[in-house]
Amino acid sequence: MLQQTPLYDEHLSLGAKLVDFAGWEMPINYGSQIAEHNAVREHAGVFDVSHMTVVDIRGEGSRDFLRHVLANDIAKADADGKAIYTCMLNTHGGVVDDLIVFHVTGNWYRLVVNAATTEKDMAWLQSQVRDFDASVTRRDDLVIIAAQGPAARELVQQNLGSEFGERAMKLKPFEVAVDGDWTVGRTGYTGEDGFEIALPDHAAVEFWRQLVNSGATPVGLGARDTLRLEGGLNLYGQDMDEDHSPLISGLGWTVAFEPEDRDFVGREALLLERAQGVESKIVGVLLEGRGVLRTGAAVRAVADDQVTDPDADDVPGRITSGSYAPTLGRSIGFARIPANWDAGWVDIGVRGKWQSARVVKTPFVRKGKIRVDIDSKSG
Partner 1 sequence: MSERPEDYRYTKTHEWVAPAENGTVKIGITDHAQSSLGDLVFVELPEVGASFNAGDQIAVVESVKAASDIYSPVAGEVARVNDALEDAPEQVNEDPFGEGWLFELKLESADAADSLLGADEYKQVADADD
Rank residues 28 and 269 by Cβ distance to partner 1 and give the closer one: 28
Is residue 29 at the binding interface for partner 1, with CB under 8 A as the rule?
yes
Q: How far is the CB of 220 from partner 1 (least distance, A)?
A: 10
Torsion angle (degrees, nearest 10) of CA 136, 112, 7, 195: 140
Taking CB under 8 A as the rule, does residue 34 contact partner 1? yes
CB of 69 to partner 1, least distance (A): 36
351 is a contact residue toward partner 1 (CB under 8 A): yes
Which residue number, 134 or 325, has a Cβ lying nearer to partner 1? 325
**Site residues for partner 1, window 317-336 (CB under 8 A)?**
323-324, 326
- Contact letters for partner 1, residues 235-274 (x by CB under 8 A): ----------------------------------------
Is 291 a binding residue for partner 1 by CB under 8 A? The answer is yes
Whole-number minimum distance, CB 35 to partner 1, in Å? 8
Amino acid at 326: P
Among 32, 107, 254, 295, binds partner 1 (CB under 8 A): 32
**Shortest Cβ 225–partner 1 spacing (Å):** 9
CB of 353 to partner 1, least distance (A): 12
User: Residues 5, 7, 10, CA angle at the centre, nearest 5°?
Assistant: 145
C-beta contacts of 4-11 below 8 A and 24+ residues apart: 5/48, 5/50, 5/51, 5/143, 5/204, 6/50, 6/143, 6/201, 6/202, 6/204, 6/205, 7/48, 7/50, 7/143, 7/204, 7/205, 7/208, 9/205, 10/48, 10/205, 10/208, 10/209, 11/48, 11/218
Q: Which residues contact 276 (CB under 8 A, 6 or more apart)?
A: none
Contact region for partner 1 (CB under 8 A) — 92-100, 155-163, 168-176, 288-296?
288-296
Residue 292 binds partner 1 (CB under 8 A): yes
Cα of first residue to Cα of last residue in the chain, in angstroms, is 53
- Residue 119 makes CB contacts below 8 A (sequence gap 6+) with none
Residue 122 touches partner 1, criterion: CB under 8 A: no
Strand partners, 304: none
SS3 356: strand
Q: Which stretch binds partner 1 (CB under 8 A): 27-35, 190-198, 241-249, 337-345?
A: 27-35
- Quote the least distance from Cβ 32 to partner 1, whole Å: 6
Stretch that binds partner 1, among 32-40, 134-142, 239-247, 337-345 (CB under 8 A): 32-40
Classify each residue of 270-285 as buried b or exposed e, where b means 16 or more C-beta atoms within 10 Å of its C-beta: beebeeeebebbbbbb
Does 72 contact partner 1 by CB under 8 A?
Answer: no
> Cα(366)–Cα(201) distance, rounded to whole angstroms?
32
* DSSP label of 40: H
Residue ranges in contact with partner 1 by CB under 8 A: 17, 28-29, 32-35, 222, 226, 290-292, 294, 323-324, 326, 351
